[in-house]
Amino acid sequence: MKTRVLPAGDAAICEAASVIRSGQLVAFPTETVYGLGANGLDSEAVSRIFEAKGRPGDNPLILHISRADQLRPLIAGEPSELARRMMDAFWPGPLTMIFPKSACVPPEVTAGLDTVAIRLPLHPVARKLIAAAGVPIAAPSANRSGRPSPTAAAHVLEDMDGRIPMILDGGACAVGLESTVVDMTGTAPRILRPGGVTAEQVERVCGSGEVDPAVMRPLAEGERPRSPGMKYRHYAPSGDLTIYEGGEGDVIAAISAAYDRALAEGRRPLIFALDRHLAAYGARRVESLGADEAAMAHRIFAVLRDADALGADVLFSEAVEARGLGLAVMNRLGRAAAFHIVEV
């Protein structure tokens, strides 16, 4: 299969919509990351997503809609008052909500669960594509399973060349992390995957909210994932990644010592650090994570991919405080490191 990369103009979007309707796959930009889309009501088309990504079948997908009124046919019953508040506050945007599913949603989308995850993206290309296709689009991130998520069309091509017919190039993604996933089936919102909409924002809108403990730990044996990104090692570079948390000076000293040991062993180490700490590592190889949590969110997947391009086989990263947007950053770093976190 030849994969075409097309600038995301109106003609290309119309062509991509036709590809979706025919049961094939299209990678497209959203404000979070690039998605790998298929007709979300077509079981066979959805199965092609899992095949192209090498994605385990028990990892559910998100359905993307272009207007809020497209939600109702996909869910069982009416959205709750809290869900309506969330929709008013955060849609369109980087928020996915989980509802009881209706009978029209194929089990391949939900990994056999009785709930469905739904998002109304902000990116104009994504919304135009969904509207032109005339169906909800099922779409995980457009990368090989386990790899860092793509925030540019070139990242998609790295992983998907020859696996899908088309990539719509809409430039770099603005947010850089996948959407926040919130379970709305209980009495209070429950965050299953943090993202650009923070736990603090959810609490301000709803008056309550909680973060699932699995956000910062692996799932226990036999524990079933209720959201994309919960079960498996994700976002991982080729090199082994360790995260260090503690006082700034202690973290810098511990990472520097670990780097030097790795170098003495003949390995190719690389450090991920905040801008204000770069000089403290001297001549060691360091990749900038940015100035703060927002910059880290925007850069983290590109930095993880850069590590592979640089040939690094062992990586050491500074931690940030797991609150606000920092919780989403630490969730992604933690899963990339298989939660290998060292306290110093």
Domain boundaries, the chain: 4-216, 240-343
Q: Number of C-alpha atoms within 13 angstroms, CB side, residue 134?
A: 6
Write down the CATH superfamily of domain 4-216.
DHBP synthase (3.90.870.10)
> pLDDT tens track of the chain, all 344 residues?
899 999 999 999 999 999 999 999 999 999 999 999 999 999 999 999 999 999 988 889 999 999 999 999 999 999 999 999 999 999 999 999 999 999 999 999 999 999 999 999 999 999 999 999 999 999 999 999 889 999 999 999 999 999 999 999 999 999 999 999 999 999 999 999 999 999 999 999 999 889 999 898 877 666 676 776 665 566 788 999 999 999 999 999 999 999 999 999 999 999 999 999 999 999 999 999 999 988 999 999 999 999 999 999 999 999 999 999 999 999 999 999 989 999 99
The total of other beta-carbon atoms located within 10 Å of residue 42's CB is 19
Give pTM, 2 decimals. 0.94
CA-based nearest residue to 138, from 64, 82, 79? 64
Identical fold, 4-216 and 240-343? no
CA distance 49 to 56: 10
Write down the CATH superfamily of domain 240-343.
Threonylcarbamoyl-AMP synthase, C-terminal domain (3.40.50.11030)
